[in-house]
């Protein structure tokens, strides 16, 4: 049984013609300006991105949710969106160019959520031709509404007037403003994207300056007017009681391990997990009485020396793995479970030694893209389950010995999901939106192990 909680505000999808148009910084600036004006702002992120949502949280004070049609499917995307859009204004930040990505594109997400698009256009090398670009985006998909345009990296007032006049004369979209080139709108990046909130790339003072620029150069009232009315928020009238023992799941969360989909965590909690947070960088031992470990992705390569120096924790994790503690590691977590991590410069640092291979950083991207994994044997995930995820990594491991079991068959016919005892790990970041039963299976697996260990 559900109840309607409240009527909410308005929302948009913020998109761009291409990557590197500045949509993330414009998105953060809009949110910061609206929050300063007293509005509540809820962010969502299109695509398999762990980084931008942490920056969204810095601005809004709210958890930003990942909406990915390829991994989660339309039903889960709509459900997550409807469950969490309880705010005065919602900003769904797009990925790459508006139409890039096929079924997982920003355009497909805008259609799925019935939201209008505000296009952020890099105007640094444009004059009147910008109208042809905007007009092309307007006409490319008749099912999509391009409600407004924000010019980014505008050179001067006269440059803005030239751009605005061209779009006003030839396009349906409303010109919402033009953001000048500004040092505060630059955030340094690295091999997996922008810096995250752990790196403190945006101080409160800098966020304030970004809000100032946005409030001065973008019509925020018109922006809110152009947003679509959000759906009514529905919540459970009654919580379903769970009498099963709670599962104490240790979760690594620090600057080295910080890639987690919030909806995954929610599903694990709903299945009975109590997250016990620890830091492989700072804690000398694991929390007591754990039923399992979850080692997410992140940047172990940037903290390899500190991880290696924490010998007591590395060795304890190795002992627990041999003793059969359920452990799940993704990408960076998988690298930490290897024998050693070798940097791109050749420096070698010992890790936990669960898997008898070394993870080696490369100077070029090793693998990028979506994959589907079919689980071939009952383990932390249920046999026969089809799991959906994404790979994005600059490291690769030495060839895994044949005696280490493979639990996944990927859609490109690779065998992955390496398993020793009850430790399961691999490079693919999974999103459980399409397979919530897998979350319940993992927690029940840990629960049974905990009861058997007593």
CATH number reported for the structural domain that contains residue 437 in this entry: 3.40.50.880
Q: pLDDT value at position 186?
A: 59
Averaged pLDDT, 226-253: 74
Share of the chain above pLDDT 90, in %: 85
The pLDDT-based confidence of 240 (bands split at 50, 70, 90) is: very low
Q: Are residues 165 and 285 in the same domain?
A: no
Q: Are residues 69 and 116 in the same domain?
A: yes
Residue 311 lies in a domain: yes
Which of 213, 234, 255 is the C-terminal boundary of a domain? 234
238 pLDDT above the threshold of 90: no
Residue 11, C-beta contacts closer than 8 angstroms, at least 6 positions apart: 85, 89, 90, 91, 92, 113, 115, 227, 228, 230
Q: Examine the residue annotation and report whether 331 is marked as an active-site residue of this protein.
A: yes
pLDDT in tens, 110-169: 999 999 999 999 999 999 999 999 999 999 999 999 999 999 999 999 999 999 999 999
Q: What range does the domain containing 106 cover?
A: 2-234
Residue 239 lies in a domain: no
377 pLDDT above the threshold of 50: yes
Which of 206, 234, 262 is the C-terminal boundary of a domain? 234
The pLDDT-based confidence of 234 (bands split at 50, 70, 90) is: low
Q: Are residues 221 and 275 in the same domain?
A: no
**Structural domain count, the chain:** 2
Q: Are residues 302 and 183 in the same domain?
A: no
Q: CA-based diameter of the chain, in Å?
A: 74
Q: Average model confidence (pLDDT) for the chain?
A: 91
Residue 387 lies in a domain: yes
Residue 286 lies in a domain: yes
Q: Are residues 218 and 325 in the same domain?
A: no
pTM here is 0.91
Q: pLDDT value at position 73?
A: 95
Q: pLDDT value at position 451?
A: 67
Q: pLDDT value at position 3?
A: 44
pLDDT in tens, 247-266: 999 999 999 999 999 999 99
Q: Are residues 66 and 192 in the same domain?
A: yes
Which of 192, 210, 234 is the C-terminal boundary of a domain? 234
* Catalytic-role residue among 46, 72, 258, 331: 331
Residue 242 lies in a domain: no
Q: Are residues 429 and 287 in the same domain?
A: yes
Residue 60 lies in a domain: yes
Q: Are residues 106 and 216 in the same domain?
A: yes
Residue 241 lies in a domain: no
Q: pLDDT value at position 243?
A: 59
pLDDT in tens, 181-221: 876 555 554 444 444 445 556 788 888 999 999 999 999 99
Q: Are residues 139 and 167 in the same domain?
A: yes
Q: Are residues 288 and 223 in the same domain?
A: no
Residue 368 lies in a domain: yes
Q: Are residues 282 and 346 in the same domain?
A: yes
Q: pLDDT value at position 195?
A: 44
Q: pLDDT value at position 85?
A: 93
pLDDT in tens, 84-102: 999 999 999 999 999 999 9
CATH number reported for the structural domain that contains residue 70 in this entry: 3.40.50.300
pLDDT in tens, 381-434: 999 999 999 999 899 999 999 999 999 999 999 999 999 999 999 999 999 999
Q: Are residues 281 and 376 in the same domain?
A: yes
């Amino acid at each position: 049984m559900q109840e309607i909680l409240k009527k909410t505000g308005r929302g948009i999808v913020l998109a761009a013609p291409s990557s590197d148009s500045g949509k993330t910084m414009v998105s953060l600036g809009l949110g910061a300006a609206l929050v300063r004006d007293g509005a509540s702002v809820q962010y969502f992120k299109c695509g398999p991105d762990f980084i931008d949502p942490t920056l969204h949280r810095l601005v809004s004070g709210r958890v930003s949710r990942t909406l990915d049609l390829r991994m989660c499917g339309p039903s889960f995307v709509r459900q997550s969106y409807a469950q969490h859009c309880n705010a005065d204004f919602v900003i769904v930040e797009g990925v790459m160019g508006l139409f890039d990505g096929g079924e997982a594109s920003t355009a497909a997400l805008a259609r799925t959520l019935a939201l209008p698009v505000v296009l952020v256009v890099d105007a640094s090398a444009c004059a009147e031709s910008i109208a042809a670009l905007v007009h092309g985006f307007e006409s490319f998909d008749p099912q999509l509404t391009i409600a407004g345009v924000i010019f980014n990296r505008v050179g001067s007032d006269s440059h803005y007037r030239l751009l605005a006049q061209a779009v006003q004369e030839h396009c349906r979209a409303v010109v919402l403003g033009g953001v000048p080139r500004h040092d505060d709108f630059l955030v340094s990046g690295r091999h997996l994207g922008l810096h995250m909130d752990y790196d403190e790339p945006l101080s409160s003072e800098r966020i304030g300056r970004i809000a100032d620029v946005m409030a001065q150069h973008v019509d925020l009232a018109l922006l809110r007017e152009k947003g679509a009315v959000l759906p009514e928020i529905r919540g459970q009238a009654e919580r379903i009681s769970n009498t099963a023992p709670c599962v104490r799941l240790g979760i690594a969360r620090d600057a080295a391990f910080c890639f987690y989909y919030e909806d995954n965590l929610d599903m694990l909690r709903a299945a009975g997990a109590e997250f016990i947070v620890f830091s492989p960088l700072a804690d000398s031992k694991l929390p007591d009485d754990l039923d399992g470990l979850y080692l997410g992705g992140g940047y172990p390569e940037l903290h390899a020396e500190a991880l290696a120096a924490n010998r007591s924790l590395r060795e304890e994790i190795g002992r627990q793995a041999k003793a059969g503690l359920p452990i799940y590691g993704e990408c960076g977590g998988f690298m930490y479970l290897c024998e050693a991590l070798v940097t791109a410069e050749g420096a070698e640092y010992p890790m936990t030694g669960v898997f008898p291979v070394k993870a080696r950083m490369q100077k070029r991207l090793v693998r990028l893209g979506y994959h589907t994994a079919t689980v071939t044997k009952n383990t932390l995930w249920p046999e026969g389950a089809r799991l959906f995820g994404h790979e994005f990594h600059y490291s690769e491991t030495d060839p895994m010995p044949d005696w280490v079991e493979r639990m996944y068959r990927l859609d490109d016919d690779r065998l992955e999901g390496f398993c020793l005892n009850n430790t399961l790990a691999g490079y693919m970041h999974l999103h459980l939106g399409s397979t919530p039963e897998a979350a319940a299976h993992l927690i029940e697996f840990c629960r049974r192990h905990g009861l058997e260990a007593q």
